[in-house]
């Protein structure tokens, strides 16, 4: 794709086609390019939450809290711990909502990250399990930590390969309550296959494809974007690292 921007004429030219720069389409084109350049520059690696690094795009964090405020889950299961920022963010939202706790799963929780999480003011709302997120014993341990009747949301943010994410979706789907979601994060990989720091195989080997295939094979789940509770703009699409991420359990 070839894009040129003429700020004087207030136009974008995309592969020879002119677009109004100050339009919804113009915004979406510029945003998509911004996300790719931001990936190359590790923009999402510049944030922290309550003292812990959180490798997320800010808009994804805001949209996620909109969903949590509406759902008010009792339990949030997150695969992928890394520095602990996302777990702490979810725990802080639970505290704000006035209910809920977080279960974090990772194949390796490094000692300094474990210490950061377990010494944090929100630690009492976080339970950690170390092991592969798809290992039967780990899935069983997570299941045993959920009480009957609790509303459960699942966030997948560990190994982002197609196979692993599809395996996670299949493993954790039974834990999700009707009306809640499994969120398969970082499907932006499919659009980054030709960007610096990316891999060509990401075009097909990505969470977005896994989420779509999982929903296609499970009648109880659909791909569904959560509605925005407030929108006085003409915009409809998120600026996101999580395209096609929201898999809703409908029954």
List pLDDT tens digits, range 204-244: 999 999 999 999 999 999 999 999 999 999 999 999 999 99
Average pLDDT on 8-22 reads 96
**Which CATH architecture does the domain made up of 47-249 adopt?**
3-Layer(aba) Sandwich (3.40)
Of 127, 97, 102, nearest in space to 114 by CA: 127
Q: How many CB atoms lie within 10 A of CB 49?
A: 19
Q: What is the pLDDT of residue 156?
A: 98
φ and ψ of 183, to 5 deg = -110, 115
Domain boundaries, the chain: 1-41, 47-249
Report which secondary-structure segment, H or E, holds 22: none
Residues in the chain: 251
- Please say if the pLDDT value at position 1 is more than 90: no
Joined together, the tokens standing for residue 93 give: 């939202």
Q: Are 241 and 60 in contact (CB under 8 A)?
A: yes
CA dihedral of 126, 129, 132, 137, whole degrees rounded to 10: -130
How far is Cα 70 from Cα 237, in angstroms, rounded to an integer? 19
Q: What is the pLDDT of residue 236?
A: 95
Q: Are 90 and 103 in contact (CB under 8 A)?
A: no
Strands (E), 157-240: 181-184, 221-223
Average model confidence (pLDDT) across the chain: 97
Over pLDDT 90: what percentage of the chain?
100
How far is Cα 3 from Cα 216, in angstroms, rounded to an integer? 35
- CA distances to 89, 94, 107, 156, 158 from 76, in Å: 11, 9, 18, 11, 15
How far is Cα 163 from Cα 144, in angstroms, rounded to an integer? 25
Q: What is the pLDDT of residue 244?
A: 98
φ and ψ of 177, to 5 deg = -90, 150
Q: What is the pLDDT of residue 44?
A: 97
- Please say if the pLDDT value at position 4 is more than 90: yes
- Please say if the pLDDT value at position 198 is more than 90: yes
How far is Cα 135 from Cα 102, in angstroms, rounded to an integer? 19
Q: Are 75 and 97 in contact (CB under 8 A)?
A: no
How far is Cα 141 from Cα 139, in angstroms, rounded to an integer? 5
List pLDDT tens digits, range 79-108: 999 999 999 999 999 999 999 999 999 999
List pLDDT tens digits, range 147-172: 999 999 999 999 999 999 999 999 99
């Amino acid at each position: 794709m070839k894009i040129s921007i003429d700020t004087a004429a207030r136009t974008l030219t995309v592969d020879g086609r002119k677009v109004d720069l100050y339009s919804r389409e113009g915004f979406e084109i510029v945003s998509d390019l911004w996300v790719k350049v931001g990936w190359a520059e590790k923009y999402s690696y510049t944030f922290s939450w309550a003292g812990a690094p959180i490798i997320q795009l800010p808009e994804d964090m805001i949209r996620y809290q909109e969903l949590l405020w509406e759902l008010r889950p009792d339990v949030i299961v997150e695969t992928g711990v890394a520095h602990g920022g996302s777990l702490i963010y979810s725990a802080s939202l639970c505290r704000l909502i006035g209910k809920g706790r977080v279960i974090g799963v990772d194949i390796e929780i490094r000692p300094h990250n474990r210490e950061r999480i377990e010494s944090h003011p929100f630690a009492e709302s976080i339970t950690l399990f170390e092991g592969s997120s798809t290992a039967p014993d780990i899935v069983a341990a997570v299941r045993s930590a959920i009480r009957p009747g609790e509303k459960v949301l699942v966030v997948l943010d560990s190994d982002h390969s197609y196979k692993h994410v599809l395996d996670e979706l299949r493993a954790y789907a039974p834990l999700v309550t009707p009306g809640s979601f499994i969120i398969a994060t970082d499907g932006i990989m499919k659009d980054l296959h030709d960007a610096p720091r990316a891999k060509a195989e990401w075009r097909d080997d990505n969470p977005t494809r896994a989420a779509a295939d999982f929903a296609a094979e499970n009648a109880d789940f659909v791909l569904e974007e959560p509605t925005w509770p407030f929108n006085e703009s003409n915009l409809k699409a998120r600026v996101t690292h999580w395209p096609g991420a929201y898999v809703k359990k409908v029954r």
